[in-house]
Structure 1
Amino acid sequence: MRRKQIVTVILVLLMWGTTSAQEKLTLDLEAAKEHALNYNLTIKNSGLAVDQSQQQLWEAISAGLPHINASADYSNALGAEISIQFDENAPPSTIPIKPTSNFNLNVNQLLFNGGYIVGIQTAKLAEKLAEKNQSKTKQDIVSQVIEGYYLVLLSEESLKILETNIANLREIYRKTEPMVKVGMIEELELDQLSVQVNSLDNALKSAERQYEMAKNLLRVQLGVTAETELELTETLAEVMDEKNTAELLMETSFDVAENIDYQLMDVQEEMTEKQIKMQKANYLPTLSGYYNYTEKILKPAFDMSPKHMVGLQMDIPIFASGERRSKVRQAKIDLETTRNNKALLEDQLSIQYKQLQFNLRSAYESHETQQKNVEVARRVYENIKRKYEQGMISGIELTTADNNYLQAETEYLNSMLEVLQAQNALNTLTGEVINN
């Protein structure tokens, strides 16, 4: 009885493990984007980088705040004595060295340093840069999720087309077999159909593998495990927004300031400007103050040390053989280089915007053509299929029409994907990828 209970418990645990491992996600495109923003590990790491930059800012601020240190010591001369002889004819006097112990409290405060304020400003810019990098990471991941979502939909619809086509051909093959047996159709026609069915079977297996690869890629982007089952609730036709395409095709101005790469370059320029100020601050003196308190726990026989001590310390840079001047000039060169790169990026983004608009227009025109082609190919295939079933044409003509129809369907799906990818690329450039 006890053995049976143990077996039952093991089975329940195995069933629970299987159920928990096979988590299922049902997602539309917006839900997929939201899931990636919450669970993608690359985005999480960018958030940690922002947290780290905030701690670095506080580190820079704390350098100018009071620093308090305490110390305690104990020393013992192990019975040694100090020998003092005031008269060479008299024997020397000895003073035993007593054990001593001190407690010290030291307070330091930076009063003036030229680089301190600049350092805080630079740390704030570093935090801003980390936040911009996080925004760019989110944008890139969302763009990848959109692409991955489209690829899964394309693979899924390609599978459906192949499955439907194979089912139709197998039905034709089933109807053709009796006609061959009674001599109405040559066996060669049946063989041709068999070859076509086998070829499509291989194509179907390849499409299934591509479908699984596309889902695995999307799983990585979503931040889920390989065992998570994905169910996408939309089709390519549903996610293809004709209105959005029309708006993107309109000739509009592009504000490069909305581009995340340009914003990153802006922050980089500010940081380079701060580096010039930082190097110039090295010419200024540094002033600090201190307070020291000493408590004698075990006092020596002769003690003149005061308990309280305050003081100021100023470090004045005088001559460094041109080192500081060289660093300032290097910082200015870096600033000029950054500004040149910024101007170059602005030109590149403007050209890229026009190119992406051209790509979208070309993809949309190709899609409209392929939409007409697939309708014609479907009608031709249905007509030839009826004629074949009536024995009016050969199997070669049927398989040719079938191949043409499959190719037209494939090109039509690819044209939809190209339009969606072009939309996504344009939205990514303009910074609208997360909002759309």
Structure 2
Amino acid sequence: MKNSMSRIALIMVLAIGMILPGVAQEPVVSQELPDQLVLDLQSAIDYAITYNKSLQNARLEVERSRRSIWEAIAQGLPQVDGSVDYMSYFNYQMEFNFGAPDFAFTEQDYLDAANATLANPIFASVTPQDLLNHQAGNYMDGVLQSMVPPTTILLSDQSTAKLQLSQMIFSGQYIVGVQTAKLAQLISEQNYEYNELNIKESVISAYYLVLITGESLDILERNVANLEETLEQTRMMFKSGMAEQTDVDQLRITVNQISDARNALERNLELNYNMLRFQLGIEANVDLVLTDSLEMLFTQMQAESALEIPFAMESNVTYQMLQTQEEISKKMVGLEQWNYAPTIAGFYNYNAKILTSGFDMNPNHLVGLNMSVPIFSSGMRKARVDQTKIDYNMAQTNKSILEDQLTLQEKQFKYNLASSLENFYTQQENREVAQRVYDSYRRKFEQGMATSLDLTQANNNYLDAETNFINAIMQVMNAKLQLDKLMNTL
């Protein structure tokens, strides 16, 4: 008995040891944050994919879906359960009394029974005296039996260690369930890819925004430096009688206004840096150094060539997710249809009896089969099948709607890119013209051939042209970014 308990305990320990490793989760990616990060655009994207906190949750979701597949598979594999129980009957004695019952036949009962027996042709040779002799013998046996003392069984304490092995033999729902779990893993991986695509878009957009803001700030700083130089020259001209106080005041106002705009843009630049830090998954105190220039990125993206690339709808992540959802809906129809099929399972029980009573009828070994057959459900199973078919039809319709939407988006995004390119070339020419006009008015003002109002107006026009040019660059880059996301080429 001790050997049996040892075997049971060993099996339980091994089972627990097999289960526990599956409970552990993969650790969340962590990083040693430096004081400064030097990043080009691609390294910024790679860093965000590794350390962005939203993507870390998406990776955990993928891992959870992988574990759910094993959960579905394990339902059809051998299941082993162990238990140990103890029961006490408090020395209860079960009594079996084999004496005559407290019951007596009447004289009429005996007379009717004798007449019925003698009337039967089979007992034609039996006399009434024979029946009396037989009745006397039976009566004597009953008297002797009543003299026997009652039999008792002492129900002592019981303890049993049980080991149960069960195995599914056939289940259509199990087969479809495993296939559905694999599709669920696929859709979680596609969801991760979708989240990753959004993070890439956010990082690229934030990176562009920092460069655009930095470029605008450089333009204002150069403009302020030029105007301050002009202001100093105008003061000297005023002292020598070649300019008026109004010219000095007008330039002073312009310098102050542009300086205020520069200070506001500096704060906006830091805000944009913080947006990029958030997408990268780093703290706000980490210094970022971006090595790619706006001009280089604008040249490398080859916006014009993107207009000629055909759209492959199957590469779009959203379309892939709806395709998988459609397949899952189709599998759900099969899953409900398998509810009409029987389920067969086998089992084996082993009972190790540690403490037994005097009345024990439980065997040590028990094996059996169980088959569950659905017969009638008042139409419930059919209703479930019909619902899943409707869900499948809706999934097909949703995919068709998305196909139309993606086709329209492709045309719209290419239209936006083409329009933004046209606007870019227009604003590029306007900036060059405004630069020449400003330089001309500045020379004329220094020679006394133009007023400070003319110079201020030319400077404002130049700044407007620079702002429009920077905005045009941003529009082209954003339009190209939207098209790349649609085609899943980020």
Common fold by TM > 0.5:
yes
1:293 aligned partner, one-letter code: Y
Residues 1:237 and 2:249 aligned together: no
Does 2:411 correspond to 1:399? no
SS class of match (1:273): helix
Deviation at 1:224, TM superposition (A): 1.3
Residue 322 of structure 1 and its aligned partner are, at CA, apart by 0.8
**Structure 1, gaps ≥5 residues long:** 1-19
Distance 2:167 2:300 in 1: 65
CA distance in 2, matches of 1:22, 1:170: 39
The residue type equivalent to 1:367 in the other structure is F
- Cα distance in 1, alignment partners of residues 481 and 183 from structure 2: 30
Is 1:193 the equivalent of 2:251? Answer: yes
Are residue 85 (structure 1) and residue 97 (structure 2) matched? yes
Indicate yes or no: 2:396 matched with 1:339: yes
The one-letter code sitting in structure 2 at the alignment partner of 1:36 is A
Counterpart in the other structure of 2:118: none
When residues 25 and 111 of structure 1 are mapped into structure 2, their CA distance, relative to the original with a 3 A threshold, is same
- CA-CA distance at 1:64 after TM superposition: 0.4
TM-score (norm 1): 0.92
| SS of equivalent residue, structure 1 residue 332 | helix
Alignment of 1:149-188 (within 5 A): 149-188=207-246
Structure 2 counterpart of 1:211? 269
- DSSP-derived class of the 2:45 partner: helix
Give the Cα–Cα distance (whole angstroms) in 1 for the partners of residues 320 and 361 of structure 2: 63
Bigger shift: residues 200-209 or 274-283: 200-209
Q: Aligned Cα RMSD in Å?
A: 1.5
Q: CA deviation at 1:92?
A: 4.1
8 A contact 2:201–2:481 mirrored in 1:
yes
Q: CA deviation at 1:210?
A: 1.2
Shift of 1:198: 1.0
State the Cα distance separating 1:139 from its structure 2 match.
1.1
| Contact 1:285–1:314 under 8 Å retained in 2 | yes
- SS for the counterpart of 2:383 is helix
Corresponding residue for residue 206 of structure 2: 148
1:428 Cα deviation (Å)?
Answer: 0.7
State the AA in 1 paired with 2:53: L
Q: Are 2:154 and 2:357, in contact at CA under 8 Å, matched by a contact in 1? A: no
Sort the Cα spacing of 1:235 and 1:339 in 2 relative to 1 into closer, same or farther, 3 A.
same
- The partner residue of 2:159 within 82, 90, 101 is 101
Q: What's the CA shift for 1:94?
A: 3.6
Q: CA deviation at 1:233?
A: 1.2
3-state SS of 1:241 partner: helix
- Give the corresponding residue for 2:384: 327
Question: 1:430, 1:275 → 2: CA distance?
Answer: 30
Structure 1 residue 296 displacement after superposition: 1.6
Cα distance in 2 for partners of 1:83, 1:357 equals 95
Give me the whole-angstrom Cα distance separating, in 2, the residues matched to 1:253 and 1:182: 68
Q: Does 1:47 align with 2:105?
A: no
Task: Verify the 8 A CA contact 1:82 1:96 in the aligned structure 2.
Answer: yes
Match 1:38 to one of 50, 56, 77: 50
The aligned residue for residue 40 of structure 2 is: 28
User: Is 2:112 the partner of 1:112?
Assistant: no
- Aligned equivalent of 2:419: 362
Contact 2:79–2:166 (Cα < 8 Å) also in 1: yes
Q: In 2, Cα distance between the equivalents of 1:278 and 1:431?
A: 33
TM-score under structure 2 normalisation? 0.82
- Whether 1:274 and 2:331 are equivalent positions in the alignment is yes
Match of 2:21 in 1: none
Distance change >3 Å, CA 131–CA 22, structure 1 → 2? closer
Shift of 1:28: 1.1
**Which of 229, 248, 267 is residue 306 of structure 2 equivalent to?**
248
Specify whether residues 121 and 243 from structure 1 end up closer, same or farther in structure 2 by C-alpha distance, changes over 3 A only: closer
Instruction: State which structure, 1 or 2, has the greater radius of gyration over its C-alpha atoms.
Output: 2
**Residue 433 of structure 2 is aligned to residue 372 of structure 1:** no
Structure 2 Cα separation of the partners of residues 162 and 241 of structure 1: 24
| Runs of 5+ unmatched residues, structure 2 | 1-31, 101-145
Aligned partner letter, 2:82: A
In the aligned structure 1, how far is the partner of 2:300 from the partner of 2:38? 25
For residue 302 of structure 2, give the secondary structure of its aligned residue in structure 1.
helix
Does residue 295 (structure 1) correspond to residue 352 (structure 2)? The answer is yes
Q: 1:268-320, CA deviations, whole angstroms, 9 ceiling, x for partnerless residues?
A: 01000000001101111111111111122112112232211111111111111
Q: Does 1:416 align with 2:473?
A: yes
Distance 1:393 1:292, change over 3 A: same
Identity of aligned residues (%): 42
Question: What is the CA-CA distance between 1:205 and the residue it aligns to?
Answer: 1.4
1:243 positional shift:
6.9
Contact 1:67 1:109 in 2 (8 A): yes
State the SS of the aligned residue for 2:448.
coil
313-322 or 237-246, which deviates more:
237-246
User: Is residue 22–residue 227 contact of structure 1 (8 Å, CA) maintained in 2?
Assistant: no
2:400 alignment partner AA? A
Residues 22 and 65 from structure 1, CA distance in 2 versus in 1: closer, same or farther, beyond 3 angstroms? closer
**Alpha-carbon offset, residue 57 of structure 1:** 0.1
